[in-house]
Structure 1
């Protein structure tokens, strides 16, 4: 009798998926505000700190990002494997504890990136490599768990799209406040070295606070009972069976075509977006001759990115997520393509960047909705549900894109003969302009081609979820019969 009641409760949850409260959605978005305070500070300003404040060679500075982000990519996969194969799941859930454990260390490590001491150049390079690599590892622990949690919060497709929109608005808000606030804090202090450190401390405190508030106000409404039971059985059998289970999960990733398409799409779009973010400060300082223009115009440009995120449910309902994604890439490519030829002032830079960020806001927000869909697709296709491994595979490619975004500007700056805090040659200025505009155009166009091969339409996803629901109901009935 108890088994029947339990089954009916679970069935009710499947037929009427959890509708999240506004508080939960706000808290989930706030989690990404905190993540971006901690992450974007390094992604936006660390290259300039390395080259213009510490005095590292741009090639060396680019190498820090390349090595650290490739390491992070593998760390993401390892963290995803760890999360998926945890056996003792406490009352906090499978994913939430990692947000709690990683928050404070993440803040401390972020500040350490901007506290390179005035010692020998070799010691400074070692400090830069070690601090950024360790920071990235801890960030993987926090962020993989945070992203993997979305499918456990709701199985309602509409709610997932809204949750993704909230997350992306949080991401854009974190990026906006970091971009607007960091340099003014630096300029308030007597030296750039002190200014960068103080600004990092401010955003570290804010980032940790946001993550802890998010942790306290979100919860995991669903768990995979079959996976938990399997994990318990593996624990009794031994490590050999555990290894087989892990390998089975990885094999399922390579059979997940939508995941592979999404991973490659992010490799192009995320690297393009972050290259533009990193190089815009060089562009403003040496081409437009006013570095503070980035802080002012960011209110407008990131406002358009947030608007793009907010419009995701509207466009998704009318066009579908796939067609909205392709349309967003087209907007981005056209805007930056025209901007390359016409940008010659702060106003034109703000205008073309705003339009391109609108397209990027759509893309970034859709990514979080699509990754939840491909988790369900993977379970439907392979009978293996692995949120952690799927999400970490996705972030693996995002980290590779960040490796490109951090290293390519450094390498190009070295190639074009960039000299910190001096007037640049015409060749150097043209190289900086190309990084800001042409690199994003190439990324957007390549992504448009890739997304034509993305197979999950709205109708396809509905069929997948109905099939999965039938499987789960049958599995619960079978387990109830076995217990009886």
Structure 2
């Protein structure tokens, strides 16, 4: 027991050999996802409502915009990853400059997506497709370098769990602010058609500030070293890095369910408050409680990971989410029980998603160790591919249920439509998180102890089949 503990401590220390990561860096890294959320979360939470209730696009057409655009986005991630991986690091690193520049362009496109010219219905739908696809392309060049950044900051298991917490805190913090502030700001304007782009511009500006804090205060400590040295690498190398990485594929499958569950919750909240609970003004209040509970929950991630390990912590969060969301569907609609259960479920999911960010960095190192080729951007892009497909699935479920149950914008809804909205908010996440827990429990085989061994090999110039 003493020898094993000594070995773990030694390997954890080795995890930071290639550069000491400061507390300021760990916290600043989380501001990247904080900035990201002020642009990404608007699309997940409010763009559907903008399309159906402000632009006048049908729910079925809006479902097509979201689902097809997200599939397009998913294929842009590997493109962005391969381009970024081919960059020669400068004095500011490989990932940070691309992230910062792309975030500024993303802010501009965030505002554009919440505008709708006076066009025919066909023209409006075409505008929605074009602007959201352009947004998605730029988002790939923002999010892929940001997500890859963590893997070149440290290999220390404990530090990565802290960074996963700060990243999730940034994400939930952005959801909290946008969820609470967006609708009240929007309602200050006499016309929501004018209010939407102005409110989006305010949020996007805060998003740029978040990315700037991350860019300014983080460093890329770990250098990319491949077995092939400086030789040109083929497409075969890219495929080996991704397709022989079992832990990565487990995360990809799991994420299809966790992210679709989270996004259906976010997209349907404004509908549930407006129609099932009877007042859209309840949305910021419920979001404040829900997101506040999540922020409190994710502060426990470092402790839970130290005590139980990453896999058990993530599994527990998923199963608690299944129970809370399932009960919320079964129990008759009541504002008090709804708030309690949706907050518990979302906080539990936030813990699982927070741990996932540490998993992703581990799979990048595992792929390097397993193949001798390090491709942070492509590996992260493969994971992000699943997030985009999950977002497409969430859009199909959310808008598809609205269309199938006869939703009519700004009107009294039928009992079937109200049940559909409730089921999408609660039952779908419960089922999705159950599948995610099964996948994680059966397929993920990169334990914390095994990762420490992998990190130790990499820090000493070794890979699975020899030395670099």
- Please give the range of the TM-score, normalised by the shorter of the 2 chains: over 0.9
1:107 alignment partner, SS class: helix
2:238 corresponding residue in structure 1: 249
Kindly tell me: are residues 15 and 363 of structure 1, through their superposed partners in 2, closer, same or farther at Cα, counting changes over 3 Å?
closer
Higher mean C-alpha displacement, 17-26 vs 412-421: 17-26
Residue 188 of structure 1 aligns to a residue whose secondary structure is coil
The residue aligned with 1:7 is: none
1:471 aligned partner: 461
- Counterpart in the other structure of 1:321: 310
Q: Does 1:36 align with 2:45?
A: no
Give distance in 2, aligned partners of 1:324 and 1:15.
24
2:303 partner SS: helix
User: In terms of Rg, which structure is larger?
Assistant: 1
Give the TM-score normalised by structure 1.
0.90
On the 8 A contact 1:301/1:350 being kept in 2, the answer is: yes
SS state of the match for residue 274, structure 2? helix
Partner of 2:90: 90
| Equivalent in the alignment of 1:187 | 187
Q: Distance in 2 between matches of 1:409 and 1:328?
A: 23
| 2:301 match | 312
Shift of the 475–436 alpha-carbon distance from structure 1 to 2, 3 Å rule, reads closer
Match of 2:322 in 1: 333
Q: CA deviation at 1:153?
A: 0.8
Residue 460 of structure 2: SS of its match in structure 1? helix
Which whole-Å CA distance do the structure 2 matches of 1:176 and 1:254 have between them?
Answer: 36
Question: Residue 482 of structure 1 aligns with which residue?
Answer: none
Alignment partner of 1:366 is 2:331: no
1:202 Cα deviation after fit: 0.9
Q: Which residue of 1 aligns with 2:10?
A: none
**Match in the other structure for 2:130:** 130
Deviation per residue, 1:402-437 (Å, 9 max, x gap): 111122211211111000000111111111111000
CA distance in 1, matches of 2:160, 2:376: 14
Aligned residues: 455
Kindly report structure 1 stretches of 4+ aligned residues shifted beyond 4 Å: 12-15, 472-476
The answer to which structure has the higher helix fraction is 1
Q: Distance in 1 between matches of 2:336 and 2:226?
A: 57
Corresponding residue number in structure 2 for 1:460: 450
Compare 266-275 and 455-464 and name the one that shifted more.
455-464
Q: Structure 1 residues 125-134 or 248-257, which shifts more?
A: 248-257
Q: In structure 1, how many angstroms separate the alpha carbons of the residues matched to 2:188 and 2:332? A: 29
Instruction: Tell me what 2:71 maps to.
Output: 70
Structure 2 CA distance for aligned equivalents of residues 475 and 287 of structure 1: 59
Contact 1:18 1:155 in 2 (8 A): no
1:228 shift after superposition: 9.3
Q: CA deviation at 1:386?
A: 1.3
Per-residue CA deviation, residues 252-274 of structure 1 (Å, 9 max, x unaligned), is 21111110001110000100110
Q: Distance in 2 between matches of 1:13 and 1:441?
A: 40
Q: In structure 2, what is the Cα distance between the partners aligned to 1:104 and 1:464?
A: 37
For the aligned residue pairs, the C-alpha RMSD in angstroms reads: 2.0
With normalisation by structure 2, the TM-score equals 0.93
5+ residue gaps, structure 1: 1-11, 235-241, 480-484
Match of 1:237 in 2: none
Compute the displacement of 1:225 (Å): 3.6
User: What is the DSSP-based 3-state SS (H/G/I as helix, E as strand, rest coil) of the residue aligned with 1:92?
Assistant: coil
The answer to whether the 8 Å contact 1:308/1:360 transfers is no
The runs of 5 or more residues in structure 2 that have no matched partner are 1-12
What is the aligned partner in structure 1 of residue 196 from structure 2?
Answer: 196
Name the structure 1 match of 2:111. Answer: 111
Aligned: 1:444 with 2:433? yes
Whole-Å Cα distance in 1 between the matches of residues 269 and 237 of structure 2?
44
Distance in 2 separating the partners of 1:193 and 1:18:
50
Q: Which moved more, 1:15-24 or 1:202-211?
A: 15-24
